[in-house]
C-alpha cells in the first residue's frame, strides 16, 4: 500500500467496447514492459469509462491526477512508458482527457463537463474484478447503513423521497414499487434485476455490469432488505459473456466477504443472488415474460393484474427493476434522498445514462442530469455529427421509441417531455441520425425487429406488425401506393390498443413518429419513387469514386448485369440504366470506392 501512493498506475479500459477495439494488445504490451522493468508502475484494468470513441483508452494515474490516452496501440504503449512513466512528460498529442488532482478539466473536457456521474461513479475508475477497490471507493457502505441504521420502512421512504424512477423505460416510481412488494405478506419474496438489455442501440447496462457489478449487487441487497426478500435473480442476456463473467466473480467475492449469504454483517438478514442467462428473446425484457423465462418456459407475457408485487416470479411477490435503477440505490442510501433529488427536473430526479451512438462524432456513454437537452447531448457531449454531415434526428427508446427531429432538439430529456414528442425515454439508447438516414427505412428496420421478436400471443401484434412491415418494405422498394400512409396509421393505433405487453403497445411507435414528422419523405417514396436521403438502394443510383477505384475489375466481374465497365487499372463507371441495384459491387469492392446517391 505504501508503494501504491508513490507509483504511477496504468489502467486499461477493458469493457467489451475497449476489448473489441484492441485493449488486450495494449494491456499485454504494458505487462511485457512491466515484466522487463519490475516495480516501475502498477498495472490494472477497469470497465468502460464511457469514451468509447477513444477506445482503447488507457489511463495513467498519479496522486489523483488522471491522464487518459486515446486509441492506444502497442507502439503507443511503449511511447507512453518511455515519455510519461519514465520521463514524466505527458504525450499531449494523444491525450483524450486529463484532469489534475484539483479536478480541473483539460482536453475534450466538455465531454465530461456536462455530465454528472452517479450510476457510472466507478465505471472506468475501479477494477471491476476487485471487491477491495469497490470497498475503497465507498462500496457496501450503503448496505451496512441499511442493515445497521435503517428499518425497511426507512429505506423505502429514502428511495421514495429521492424521486428515483425506473430506468428501464417506463419511469415507474421505484420507492412506490418497493412499498407494494413490502406490503405483501409472504414467506418468500424475490428481487429481480432485469439485465436483458435488448434494445438495439443501448449498452448502458452492459457497461455498468462490466464496469461496476458490485453496485448492482449492493442495490439489490438493499432492496431485498426493504421488501423482505432473501433471494435475488439477475436475468442477463447471453450476448453479454463478459458481463456474466464479471458478475459471477463479483457474486463469489461478495459471498466470501459476507455481503451476500446468511446473516449478513450479523444483522440476521439473509440474501443471495443467482444469475439466469437469457436465451435470446427480446420480449423477455417485459417483466412477466422475464419471469416465465426464469421459470424455464417460453418467455411469453401474461395479463396484469395480478401485478408482480403480488404474484410475480413463481407466483410470489416480486420486485423487478432494471440494472441502472439498482446501481442508483447505494448512492442514494449513502448520500441521502435530498442530494439525489437536488439533481434533475421537478418530476424526473437524478441522472440518466445515455448510450450515444450512430452518426455522432463522440459515441459512448454519457450520464447527465435529467432535463439536459437533446442538443447538448448531441453537440456538446457528442461533439456533433460525423464527417461534417447535417443532424437530422435522434432515435430514442429503440424499437419501442420514436424519432425526434433536429428542429425539436431543445427538448429536455425527462419522463414528461420525451413522451410528449411521441418517442419514449426507453432504457437510454440514443441513436443519432444524419441527412443520409432515410426515415422510412428506419421505421422499416424497427418493424422488422419487433415483427421477428413478437411472441405471437396477441393477434394484432403477431399479424398487424407483419402487415405494417410489408407496407413499409414496399414503400422503400418504390412500390408504395397513396393509401399506405393511412393504412399504417390505422393499423398502428389498433396494435397499440390491443396488445398485452409493452412490445406490442409500442411496436408501431417508430412508424407513427416518422409519419408524424417526416410525412414528406413517405410521400416522396410513394409519389415520386425517390428516396430523399439516398438510403433505399432500390431508389438510388450507384457511383464509383474515381479517386479510390484502382481498376481491379472485381466489381465488373461480380456485376450480374454487366453494368460496370472500364479498362484495367483505370477507374470504372456504372451504367445506372442497366444497374439492378443489387449492391454486390459495394460489398465486393476492396477499396470502399462505391457509393450511392
Task: Give SS3 for 413.
Answer: coil
Backbone angles phi, psi at 90, to 5 degrees: -75, 135
Q: How far is the CB of 40 from other proteins (least distance, A)?
A: 25
Contact between residue 359 and residue 442 where contact means Cβ atoms under 8 Å apart: no
Nearer to other proteins, 259 or 446 (CB): 446
Q: How far is the CB of 313 from other proteins (least distance, A)?
A: 9
Nearer to other proteins, 17 or 531 (CB): 17
Q: Which residues contact 143 (CB under 8 A, 6 or more apart)?
A: 218, 221, 222, 225, 259, 264, 265, 330
For strands 58-62 and 65-69, give the pairing: antiparallel
Cα dihedral 432, 433, 435, 438, rounded to 10, equals 180
Q: How far is the CB of 410 from other proteins (least distance, A)?
A: 23
Is the Cα torsion angle 179, 417, 349, 382 positive or negative in sign? positive
Helix axes 323-335, 213-227, angle to 10 degrees: 80
Q: How far is the CB of 203 from other proteins (least distance, A)?
A: 4
Residue 555: CB atoms within 10 A of its CB come to 25
Nearer to other proteins, 180 or 275 (CB): 275
Among residues 27, 50, 48, 13, the alpha carbon closest in space to that of 362 is found at: 50
Nearer to other proteins, 169 or 364 (CB): 364
Nearer to other proteins, 66 or 276 (CB): 276
Q: How far is the CB of 548 from other proteins (least distance, A)?
A: 10
Nearer to other proteins, 155 or 447 (CB): 447
Q: How far is the CB of 167 from other proteins (least distance, A)?
A: 16
Cα dihedral 574, 580, 586, 589, rounded to 10, equals -60
Q: How far is the CB of 251 from other proteins (least distance, A)?
A: 8
Q: Which residues contact 214 (CB under 8 A, 6 or more apart)?
A: 128, 131, 134, 139, 140, 250, 253, 254
Nearer to other proteins, 260 or 524 (CB): 260
Task: Give SS3 for 145.
Answer: helix
Q: What angle do CA 565, 436, 454 make, to 5 degrees?
A: 105
Nearer to other proteins, 51 or 164 (CB): 51
Nearer to other proteins, 205 or 414 (CB): 205
Nearer to other proteins, 218 or 453 (CB): 453
What span, in angstroms and rounded, lies between the C-alpha atoms of 127 and 80? 21
Residue 308: CB atoms within 10 A of its CB come to 23
Q: How far is the CB of 158 from other proteins (least distance, A)?
A: 29
Nearer to other proteins, 385 or 485 (CB): 385
Q: How far is the CB of 210 from other proteins (least distance, A)?
A: 9
What span, in angstroms and rounded, lies between the C-alpha atoms of 430 and 354? 6
Q: How far is the CB of 76 from other proteins (least distance, A)?
A: 17
What span, in angstroms and rounded, lies between the C-alpha atoms of 164 and 202? 21
Q: How far is the CB of 237 from other proteins (least distance, A)?
A: 8
What span, in angstroms and rounded, lies between the C-alpha atoms of 518 and 472? 14
Nearer to other proteins, 240 or 517 (CB): 240
Rg (the chain; Cα; Å): 26
Q: How far is the CB of 190 from other proteins (least distance, A)?
A: 12
What span, in angstroms and rounded, lies between the C-alpha atoms of 334 and 324? 17
Q: How far is the CB of 431 from other proteins (least distance, A)?
A: 5
For 517, the enclosing helix (H) or strand (E) is helix 509-527
Nearer to other proteins, 41 or 446 (CB): 446
Helix axes 241-256, 213-227, angle to 10 degrees: 60
Q: How far is the CB of 145 from other proteins (least distance, A)?
A: 26
Nearer to other proteins, 25 or 498 (CB): 25
Residue ranges of E strands in 159-297: 190-195, 231-236, 272-277
Helix, strand, coil: what percent of the chain each, to 5? 45, 15, 40
For strands 41-46 and 8-13, give the pairing: parallel
Rounded to the nearest angstrom, the gap between the alpha carbon of residue 188 and the centroid of all alpha carbons in its chain is 33
Is the Cα torsion angle 76, 78, 83, 88 positive or negative in sign? positive
Amino acid at each position: 500500500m505504501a508503494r501504491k501512493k508513490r507509483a504511477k498506475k496504468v489502467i486499461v479500459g477493458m469493457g467489451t467496447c475497449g476489448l473489441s477495439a484492441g485493449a488486450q494488445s495494449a494491456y499485454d504490451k504494458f505487462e511485457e514492459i512491466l515484466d522487463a522493468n519490475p516495480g516501475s508502475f502498477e498495472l490494472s484494468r477497469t470497465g468502460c469509462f464511457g469514451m468509447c470513441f477513444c477506445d482503447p483508452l488507457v489511463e495513467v494515474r498519479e496522486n489523483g491526477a488522471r491522464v487518459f490516452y486515446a486509441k492506444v496501440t502497442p507502439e503507443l504503449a511503449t511511447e507512453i512508458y518511455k515519455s510519461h512513466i519514465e520521463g514524466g512528460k505527458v504525450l499531449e498529442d494523444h491525450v483524450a482527457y486529463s484532469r489534475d488532482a484539483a479536478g480541473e478539466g483539460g482536453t475534450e473536457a466538455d465531454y465530461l463537463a456536462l455530465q454528472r456521474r452517479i450510476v457510472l461513479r466507478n465505471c472506468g475508475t475501479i477494477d471491476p474484478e476487485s471487491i477491495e477497490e469497490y470497498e475503497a471507493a465507498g462500496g457496501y457502505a450503503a448496505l451496512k447503513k441499511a442493515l445497521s441504521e435503517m428499518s425497511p420502512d426507512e429505506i423505502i421512504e429514502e428511495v421514495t423521497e429521492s424521486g428515483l424512477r425506473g430506468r428501464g423505460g417506463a419511469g415507474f416510481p421505484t420507492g412506490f414499487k418497493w412499498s407494494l412488494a413490502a406490503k405483501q405478506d409472504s414467506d418468500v419474496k424475490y428481487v429481480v434485476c432485469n439485465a436483458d438489455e435488448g434494445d438495439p442501440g443501448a449498452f448502458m447496462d452492459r457497461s455498468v455490469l462490466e464496469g461496476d457489478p458490485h453496485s448492482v449487487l449492493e442495490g439489490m441487497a438493499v432492496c431485498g432488505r426493504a421488501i423482505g426478500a432473501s433471494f435475488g435473480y439477475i436475468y442477463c442476456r447471453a450476448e453479454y459473456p463478459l458481463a456474466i463473467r464479471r458478475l459471477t466473480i463479483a457474486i463469489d467475492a461478495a459471498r466470501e466477504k459476507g455481503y451476500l449469504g446468511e446473516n449478513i454483517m450479523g444483522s440476521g438478514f439473509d440474501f443471495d443472488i443467482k444469475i439466469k442467462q437469457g436465451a435470446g428473446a427480446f420480449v423477455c425484457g417485459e417483466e412477466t415474460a422475464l419471469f416465465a423465462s426464469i421459470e424455464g418456459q417460453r418467455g411469453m407475457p401474461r395479463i396484469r393484474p395480478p401485478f408482480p408485487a403480488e404474484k410475480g416470479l413463481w407466483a410470489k411477490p416480486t420486485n423487478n427493476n432494471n440494472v441502472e435503477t439498482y446501481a442508483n440505490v447505494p448512492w442514494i442510501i449513502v448520500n441521502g434522498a435530498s442530494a439525489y433529488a437536488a439533481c434533475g427536473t421537478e418530476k424526473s430526479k437524478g441522472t440518466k445514462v445515455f448510450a450515444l451512438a450512430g452518426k455522432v462524432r463522440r459515441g459512448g456513454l454519457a450520464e447527465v442530469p435529467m432535463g439536459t437537452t437533446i442538443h447538448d447531448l448531441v453537440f456538446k457531449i457528442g461533439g456533433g455529427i460525423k464527417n461534417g454531415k447535417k443532424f437530422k434526428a435522434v432515435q430514442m427508446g429503440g424499437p419501442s421509441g420514436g424519432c425526434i427531429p433536429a428542429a425539436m432538439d431543445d427538448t429536455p430529456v425527462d419522463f414528461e417531455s420525451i413522451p410528449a414528442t411521441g418517442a419514449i425515454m426507453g432504457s437510454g439508447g440514443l441513436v443519432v441520425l444524419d441527412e443520409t438516414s432515410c426515415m422510412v427505412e428506419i421505421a422499416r428496420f424497427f418493424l422488422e425487429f419487433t415483427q421477428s421478436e413478437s411472441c405471437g400471443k396477441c393477434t394484432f401484434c403477431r399479424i398487424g406488425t407483419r402487415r405494417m412491415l410489408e407496407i413499409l418494405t414496399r414503400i422503400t422498394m418504390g412500390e408504395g401506393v397513396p393509401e399506405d400512409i393511412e393504412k399504417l396509421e390505422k393499423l398502428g393505433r389498433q396494435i397499440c390498443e390491443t396488445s398485452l405487453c409493452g412490445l406490442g403497445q409500442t411496436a408501431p411507435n417508430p412508424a407513427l413518429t416518422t409519419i408524424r414528422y417526416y410525412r414528406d419523405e413517405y410521400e416522396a417514396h410513394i409519389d415520386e419513387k425517390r428516396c430523399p436521403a439516398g438510403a433505399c438502394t432500390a431508389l438510388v443510383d450507384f457511383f464509383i469514386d474515381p479517386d479510390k477505384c484502382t481498376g481491379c475489375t472485381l466489381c465488373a466481374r461480380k456485376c450480374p448485369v454487366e453494368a460496370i465497365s472500364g479498362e484495367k487499372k483505370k477507374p470504372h463507371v456504372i451504367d445506372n440504366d442497366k444497374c439492378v441495384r443489387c449492391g454486390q459491387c459495394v460489398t465486393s469492392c476492396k477499396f470502399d470506392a462505391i457509393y450511392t446517391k
